[in-house]
Amino acid sequence: MDPNSCSNIEAETKEMDVRSLSASHQHSQYRHKVGIPPKQNLLREFIARVKETLFADDPLRPFKDQPRSRKLVLGIEAIFPIFEWGRSYNWRKFRGDLIAGLTIASLCIPQDIGYARLANLAPQYGLYSSFVPPLIYAFMGSSRDIAIGPVAVVSLLLGSMLSNEIDPNQNEAEYLRLAFTATFFAGITQVTLGFLRLGFLIDFLSHAAIIGFMAGAAITIALQQLKGLLGIQKFTKKTDIISVMRSVWGSVHHGWNWQTILIGVSFLSFLLLTKYIGKKNKKFFWVPAIAPLISVILSTFFVYITHAEKKGVQIVKNIEKGINPSSVNQIYFTGDYLLKGLKIGVVAGMIALTEAVAIGRTFASMKDYQLDGNKEMVALGAMNVVGSLASCYVATGSFSRSAVNFMSGCETAVSNIIMSCVVFLTLEFLTPLFKYTPNAILAAIIISAVVGLIDVKAAILVWKIDKFDFVACLGAFLGVVFASVEIGLLIAVIISFAKILLQVTRPRTAILGKVPRTNVYRNILQYPEATKVPGVLIVRVDSAIYFSNSNYVKERILRWLMDEEEKVKAACQPTIHFLIVEMSPVTDIDTSGIHALEELHRSLEKKNIQLILANPGPMVMDKLEASKFANLIGDDKIFLTVADAVSSCSPKRVENV
């Protein structure tokens, strides 16, 4: 293009700038100056920050301006919420809780026996874990809908991690002691997190990672049940899909039992059918709830009258009668197994906590009441600590039972007490009746229960919303299915942290343009109609500027500038004289961030480009003043809005040419 024509175009553009911007320049002669927050005492600022981090919900608010006697009552109610809502308890609520408690009891008894086998424990330990923990939770928990007891994922996790340390077949007593030790430390972990109000730590495991982890665990659990469903006696101890399928097909000619398969497949079909009926018509929610108990009764009766156990059908045999024996003396407080129990307990406690809190929040939102996450952690931890002393293993909120509890019309945590009473009666009087219960029916019950953990719709939604989240979901899923539960969990945590690190170290930046007929400046990619201001580059940084990303932010802004300079040069437009950094999203800045701004300022000075800041927040402005950076660029280069900054610098650019 002819250089003379370029200069003519630039001159015409400048004249238009003068006419279009003079009015706005006159209109905005008075501009608000960016305020500098008052200096705060360092100790007070630190206390305020800690209070906001750990006590964001202001738990002590009800205690303010209350007499000492009232504070004592409020303190007791805070630890034991049952004394708060119990005052308004009535017969109508009890009727709802009674029906719900009996319904979830019919579901939990066969499930508990099966889940205990997942954890490589005798059947009675599953029942023990649905007797004591629900009673403790009913007094201390704040959720009205959670049903407490063993769950499939935690049972599998415990069984997998414990068997890596001790063989449950060769050292049954040692294995049992380690299980109680892990349960004790799972409870201690949960209580500690709740007491220190560190519940936000469980949020580091993203929702997408949990979806993948749960789906992978569901498939792993279902594959493990092929042993009972097919009647295989010699089965691999590994949980990955390749080892399991090799073990299954390796025993097809000599290990499968057709009578067991007939029982298992028949009742599995029945359970899945009832599940379908309950899903299609919410009025029949009770059908899938009582189906497991009906299956146990019918299959047990069938085996008893046909003596199928003599034809290779494996049965439960004896379940110890009586309520929980004490296990205080069985927990390892010294020795080599102490640290192993601690490690397993922390992992199991965190997973149990994540599942319970997620379930509690889900049903609390449905009934429109608040759930105190930290109180929940203390309650869950207390019940597991007490449970470990009473021959229980890790219990938590069960999604399937909680859903049935909710659909049955539960009103309060009394439904857990009702369920616990039914389990008590079962332990005291009914356990001999389970002697002829076939293992195949327990496998069928577990498979039908874990099918609901595979949430394909949620995974598809994650893919549509965030591809990186889907990577976390898929990584956790593949890790569990092809390696182990622990590996899958580790992958989920690593990918979740990787996402956080990526977002922190590589924050988004954007070029802003003026939306027509407004004084609003927005991302030109989101608003294609927004126009750039000639001679001015406006960049927005969408993150706090810390040591981890400060160098990237500086280099990214300079790269935006370089790209823009090439464009304006090719289009014969006015050269850039001003760089405006929109700092509204910048919530904080540290020493490295300020140093990066200083380097950016020096780089721009060499190019005869002025650095201008728009709308820095109070925290950022305070640090800019303290570091003297505001004096370095000049107080007149810091504006309240981008519009003020543009109207101030554009006429100057025209007049100086």
Average pLDDT for runs of 10 along the chain of length 657: 50 46 44 71 73 69 82 89 92 94 93 93 96 96 93 93 92 95 97 85 79 92 92 87 92 86 96 92 88 95 93 90 94 93 95 88 83 88 97 93 90 95 95 94 94 91 92 92 88 85 91 93 95 94 94 96 93 91 95 96 95 93 92 91 87 39
**How is the chain split into domains, by residue range?**
92-316+324-497, 507-649
SS (H, E, C) 584-638: CCCCCECHHHHHHHHHHHHHHHHCCCEEEEECCCHHHHHHHHHCCHHHHHCHHHE
Q: At what angle do helices 399-407 and 336-367 cross, to 10 degrees?
A: 30
- The pairing of strands 536-541 and 578-582 is parallel
Cα–Cα dist 386/278, whole Å: 36
**DSSP-assigned letter for residue 33:** P
Strand, helix or coil at 580?
strand
pLDDT for 500 equals 85
Cα–Cα dist 427/321, whole Å: 6
Q: At what angle do helices 414-425 and 91-118 cross, to 10 degrees?
A: 60
**DSSP H or E segment with residue 487:** helix 485-505
Q: 219, 241 in Cβ contact below 8 A?
A: yes
pLDDT for 96 equals 93
Cα–Cα dist 387/534, whole Å: 71
- The model's pTM is 0.82
Please state the φ and ψ torsions of residue 531, each to the nearest 5 degrees: -110, 145
Please state the φ and ψ torsions of residue 147, each to the nearest 5 degrees: -105, 125
pLDDT for 20 equals 44
Output the six-digit token pair for 211: 């979806």
pLDDT for 69 equals 86
pLDDT for 4 equals 52
Region label for 586, one of left (φ > 0), alpha (ψ between -120 and 50) or beta (otherwise): beta
pLDDT for 202 equals 73
For 548, 605, 620, 621, 637, the CA distances from 627, given in Å and listed in that order, are: 19, 19, 11, 10, 16
Is CATH 3.30.750.24 what the domain over 507-649 is classified as, yes or no? yes
**DSSP-assigned letter for residue 64:** T
Cα–Cα dist 299/113, whole Å: 15
> With the C-alpha atoms ordered 594, 599, 605, 610, is the resulting torsion angle positive or negative?
negative
**DSSP H or E segment with residue 92:** helix 91-118
**DSSP H or E segment with residue 77:** helix 68-79
For the chain, how many helices (H) and strands (E)? 27, 8
Q: At what angle do helices 258-280 and 439-450 cross, to 10 degrees?
A: 30
Beta bridge partners of 397: 148
